[in-house]
Amino acid sequence: MTTLQPSAAPGVIGHEDPDELLVERCLGGERDAFTVLVRRYQRPIYNAAYRVLGREEDASDVTQTVFLKVAENLGGFDPRFRFFSWIYRIAMNESLNLLRRNGRDQPLGEEEPEGPETVGPEWRAAEAEASARIQKVLMGMKPADRAVITLRHFSDCSYEEIGQVLGIEVKTVKSRLFEARNRMRALLGDLRPAASIASAK
C-alpha cells in the first residue's frame, strides 16, 4: 500500500495535467494530484456503476470503494497502460462483484418496462423518458451485456479500451457488443432514441 505524504516542494498541479503525470505526482507524495484525479473520474465512474447496478446507493458505494482501492494500489499501477482503463476495470469489477454478492447477477426479466403511453411536447421530457426506459432495459439484461453497452455507449470507450477494462480480446468485445445491441433492440422495441445504441457501429 502506498501512503501519500505531502511533498516538501510540490509542483504546480493543473487540472488539465495528463493522468500519467498526476499518478507520478501522487506517488511522489502530492496529495493535491490525487484530489484532481478524484474530481476528474468521480462522476464518470459513478455513471458507469449506476448503469450496471441500477441503484444510486450502490453506485455511490462502488465509487467510494474504487477510489479507496486506487489510493491503496496506486504503487502497483503499470504506467505502460492507461490510467483510464485501470480505474474503469476496478469500477466494473466492483460493480459486477456487488451484483453477485447481492444475488442480482441474473437479468430481472425480458419484458418491456412499463411507462407512460405518450410523451410530452418538450424534447427534454421525451429524452428523460427514453433514458429511463433504456436504464430499465439495461437492468433486464445480463451484467456482462450491461458492462459492454455501458463502456461503449455511456463512457465512450473504444473497442481496445473496453478490451483492456474487461480483460478480453477486441474481437470478443465486438462479438459481445453485437449480441448485446441485438438483445437491447428487441427489448426496446420501437423506442426511437435507442437507435443510436442498437444500430451503432
The string of pLDDT tens digits covering residues 100-125 is 888 765 443 333 333 434 444 465 66
Buried b (16+ CB within 10 A) or exposed e, 181-198: bebbbebbeebeebeebb
Residue with the bigger pLDDT between 83 and 133: it is 83
The residue ranges of DSSP E strands in the chain, in sequence order, are: none
* pLDDT higher than threshold 60 for residue 197: no
Q: Cα(70)–Cα(76) distance, rounded to whole angstroms?
A: 9
Sign of the torsion formed by the C-alpha atoms of 138, 197, 153 and 149: positive
Per-residue pLDDT band at 32 (split at 50, 70, 90)? very high
Per-residue pLDDT band at 178 (split at 50, 70, 90)? very high
* pLDDT higher than threshold 70 for residue 13: no
pLDDT on residue 7: 35
The grid coordinates of residue 93 equal: 469489477
Q: What is the average per-residue pLDDT within 167-184?
A: 94
pLDDT on residue 126: 63
Q: Cα(1)–Cα(187) distance, rounded to whole angstroms?
A: 45
Mean pLDDT of the chain: 80
Q: What is the average per-residue pLDDT within 49-71?
A: 95
The model's pTM: 0.71
Domains of the chain: 19-101 (1.10.1740.10), 123-198 (1.10.10.10)
Q: By C-alpha distance, which of 72, 63, 138, 58 is closest to 101?
A: 58
Per-residue pLDDT band at 160 (split at 50, 70, 90)? very high
Q: By C-alpha distance, which of 110, 183, 195 is closest to 144?
A: 183
pLDDT on residue 104: 60
What residues contact 7, with CB distance under 8 A and at least 6 apart?
Answer: 28, 29, 30
* pLDDT higher than threshold 80 for residue 145: yes
